[in-house]
Amino acid sequence: MKFKAGEYDVAVIGAGHAGIEAGLASARLGCRTVVFTINMDAVGNCPCNPSIGGTAKGHHVREIDALGGEMGKAADECFLQSRMLNKGKGPAVHSLRAQIDRRAYSTRMKHTLELQENLDLKQAEITSLEKDENGMWVLTTRFEAMYISKTVILATGTYLGGKIYVGDVSYESGPDGMFPSNYLPDSLEKMGMSIRRFKTGTPARVLRSSIDFSGLEEQSGDDPVVPFSYDTDQPGENKVKCYVSWTNDNTKKVILDNIDRSPMYSGKIEGIGPRYCPSIEDKIVRFSDKPRHQLFIEPCGLDTEEMYIQGMSSSLPEDVQLEFYHTIKGLENCSVMRPAYAIEYFCADPVQMNSTLEFRRFPGLYGAGQFNGSSGYEEAAAQGLVAGVNAALKVQGKEPFILDRASSYIGTLIDDLVTKGCNDPYRMMTSRSEYRLILRQDNADVRLTPIGRKIGLISDERWEKFNAKLDKINAELERVRKTVMSPTKELNAILREHDTSEVTTGIRLCDLIKRPQLSYKILTPVDTTRTEKDRSVLEQVEIEIKYEGYIKRQLIIIDQVRRLELKLLPENIDYSEIDGLRLEAREKLNKVRPQNIGQAGRISGVSPADISVLVIYLSTLKNKKTIE
């Protein structure tokens, strides 16, 4: 018999990386929040790679932290090894990545939810979702408990209709052998929501003692360690090493000889897999001319002997997996503790949502994470934070929280999803942002902490610390612009040593720093007036000085684009009735329902000519209102 179990402002279905940030954000903003998980031991689980960050993903983590989220702090507390990727390239693509202890991370996040005021964490499978006569959402569990909520956030990860594939064997399951959510998809489809099947996968875990590390390339962490969170003053030291190996011709032969046994190639898997994180069999087939593929051997934690084989996900049968793993240097005698598998799941088409991640047809219902068609823990957490904040603001009757493309990678991610959609699991990359020189991971706090403060997620202590840092940056910028360096022997010796022209008259310090051959560090012996030692302050000042011209040009472009974002499109507009729009543009615009001209211009199939028609149409509407 069904019974009423509780009433809430915000209900979050799922306690993975999206659900955690969503629940914490809404609760911290004062809303009574409940977070549901199918298994309490799966809160904050990392069923695939035991790491946080990576190329572009590290930007997300920094931005989540700058806004007042939790992922960066937890990663700093649980990291095993930390590295800044792409250091040989420009600062726009520098990205932090940390190998983490997956169990410690899960435990830490679960405890954070348990301690959070205004938040209840409950183990329950939500089997149906519907609205009652009062416009409230009714969530029913498998045990027939009914929870009433003003808003709901769907953060179901890969659990929704989850199905595992290993060769010819397939069965209903969530990740890591957890129960799947098999009833909720029917409820969503009954509502009229558009959902589809995606697929992802994970590599095997092997026993550490069965690996021969003697001939493998070691990968050490950075010294000093750079933290994710701006609140972390002492991140600690690296605790482990990772290792690199490669596939070879024998690996390729084993896979190709058994490719017909892969459910992905035999047609058993219907879901669409990730384009930028393919399985090893997909790599072998798609890049047949490539002689080898890199893989990374990484620890899963300090209190486990499981090692993760990054870059080797597969859905081939277990016997084939054993055979091809044993062809790889260092893994010739490895003992597989958990075989690789593929998982297929339901997710929503994100073009059904607006930039707040609320479904246009279902007010008060939000999506976040892999449910929205994305992949990755970091992308999920970013969406969870935005959905959680917006659900809380809606309950409180406040203006929505929207990040645009020029403000953040989070804004880029969401704009891509809701305007362009995705035909395969979406992964963030630095190349997706046209403003990446502005959206660096080092300045995420400068860009977003004032926004987090305005929302209400940044504490007084954090705000004071942030403003003190800004004062230091401004003071140091002023110093390097005003300081004039004399043409001393010492200075010219440094200039000759680094193959840049000597000086015969005084030169501003900022002009020396702008030279590509020079840096703060190189000029330290002759920079006698510098007192600032904060690494993060010096980093931002050096980037601002070196890339000043490029940054100014990009800011001009951003200003021009934002003017288009201010040209709002009416919610009830019927694009099929606008003369001059091409048929494809009418169909796409009616489907996506862009909020402004700028967003309309980013929809695939909408041309510049169509945008001109829309601008004229808006002017006509404005003139009509003026006359009336």
Q: What's the CATH code of the domain at 623?
A: 1.10.150.570
Distances (CA, A) of 244 to 199, 238, 377, 546: 27, 17, 23, 34
Q: Which amino acid is at 226?
A: V
In this structure, of 39-53, 147-161, 494-508, 594-608, the range with the lowest mean pLDDT score is: 594-608
Same domain for 362 and 444:
yes
Residues 348-377: what's their mean pLDDT?
96
CA atoms within 13 A on the CB side of 563: 6
Measured from the Cβ of residue 424, the count of other Cβ atoms closer than 10 Å reads: 17
Give the integer Cα–Cα distance in Å for 121 and 112: 10
Q: What's the CATH code of the domain at 223?
A: 2.40.30.260
256 three-state secondary structure: helix
Give the integer Cα–Cα distance in Å for 289 and 258: 18
pLDDT of residue 598: 87
Range of the domain at 595: 566-627
526 three-state secondary structure: helix
Same domain for 355 and 337:
no
pLDDT of residue 625: 60
pLDDT at residue 420 tops 70: yes
Measured from the Cβ of residue 490, the count of other Cβ atoms closer than 10 Å reads: 10
Average pLDDT, the chain: 94
pLDDT at residue 627 tops 60: no
pLDDT of residue 624: 64
pLDDT of residue 9: 98
Residues 509-525: what's their mean pLDDT?
94
Is the residue at 559 inside a domain?
Answer: no
Same domain for 390 and 310:
no
Percent of the chain with pLDDT over 90: 82
Q: Are 512 and 523 in contact (CB under 8 A)?
A: yes
Give the integer Cα–Cα distance in Å for 368 and 357: 7
pLDDT at residue 626 tops 60: no
pTM flag (> 0.85): yes
Give the integer Cα–Cα distance in Å for 526 and 513: 12
pLDDT of residue 273: 74
Is the residue at 481 inside a domain?
Answer: yes
Same domain for 182 and 36:
yes
Q: pLDDT, tens digit, for every residue of 319-339?
A: 999 999 999 999 999 999 999
Beta strands in 31-87 (DSSP E): 33-37, 51-53, 79-85
Instruction: Show which of 328, 344, 360 is a domain's final residue.
Output: 344
**79-85 vs 137-141, strand pairing mode:** unpaired
- DSSP string covering 223-259: SSPPPSSTT-S--------EEEEE--HHHHHHHHHTG
Tokens of 448: 């977003």
pLDDT of residue 607: 87
pLDDT at residue 373 tops 70: yes
pLDDT of residue 198: 94
Give the integer Cα–Cα distance in Å for 420 and 397: 29
Q: pLDDT, tens digit, for every residue of 32-78?
A: 999 999 999 999 999 999 999 999 999 999 999 999 999 999 999 99
Is the residue at 500 inside a domain?
Answer: yes
Closest of 385, 375, 392, 374 to residue 408, by C-alpha: 385
When divided into structural domains, the chain yields a total of: 4
Same domain for 516 and 374:
no
Same domain for 547 and 572:
no
Same domain for 215 and 98:
no
Same domain for 416 and 278:
no
Q: pLDDT, tens digit, for every residue of 105-159?
A: 999 999 999 999 999 999 999 999 999 999 999 999 999 999 999 999 999 999 9
Q: pLDDT, tens digit, for every residue of 167-215?
A: 999 999 999 999 999 999 999 999 999 999 999 999 999 999 999 999 9
